[in-house]
Amino acid sequence: MQTAPLSDARMLHSYAITKMTPGQRKALLAGVDAGGRLPDGVVSARVVESIPETWARTDEETGSRFLTPQGRAALIPFDRYRQLRRANPETGAVHGLNHRDGQGLHRDGLVVFQSHDGRIAGPTDHWMTNAYPYITERGRKLVGMPLTAPALTARLPIGSTAVWMRDGRPDELVRVGSWLFADGTVRVTPLARSLPLIPETWAPAVELHPS
């Protein structure tokens, strides 16, 4: 399963039409669960046919529909997409969600609210049990986050320091902040002492080397 790099995803979200019918949304989310192909029997054939080709392309040989990057972008606003990408891959915790975004992500099955003792709560009453949002398997698949730690994690674990080596630019020390995503990138934070407030960014994994 491939997802667009975060910079490309930003452009996709900038023009994606986010208004869709409940049936179309159900079909596209089922496609996320199925790794890209819209499974049969989830919604009526009429609903599937109503989905634009920009959201789900049709295979000419089989007639099957396959979720496109534009279709993924149409499912959630970019800010929510970015929040899911920033979830802790080891614990699944999603930080910094406001109430509205939490409700929207919960509605689509992309996060679940769970307390420390394992109790599941709804998006409107999670505060009563100190339940916290966690990314779901569907949420991971939507943004390209692995379900289990990839092999690269042994070489570049979260929190470790790496050297970002790019052609034509000086080597740069960064802190690793995520696992390897399906688009081949890793979230990193530059460690330049002269610029302590440098925001995190996304680096191609092939350009990162253990410090």
3-state secondary structure of 67: strand
Rounded to an integer, what distance in angstroms lies between the CA atom of residue 25 and that of residue 109? Answer: 12
Q: Which segments of the chain does DSSP mark as H helices, in order?
A: 6-15, 22-33, 45-50, 69-75, 78-85, 99-107, 137-143, 152-155
Band the pLDDT of 124: cuts 50, 70, 90.
low
Tens-place pLDDT, residues 43-97: 999 999 999 999 999 999 999 999 998 999 899 998 999 999 999 999 999 998 8
Residue 121 — pLDDT band, cuts 50, 70, 90?
A: confident
User: 17 pLDDT band (50/70/90 cuts)?
Assistant: low
**CA–CA gap between residue 75 and residue 22 (Å, rounded):** 11
Residue with tokens 């709560």: 121
Q: Using a cut of 0.75, tell me whether the model's pTM lies above it.
A: yes
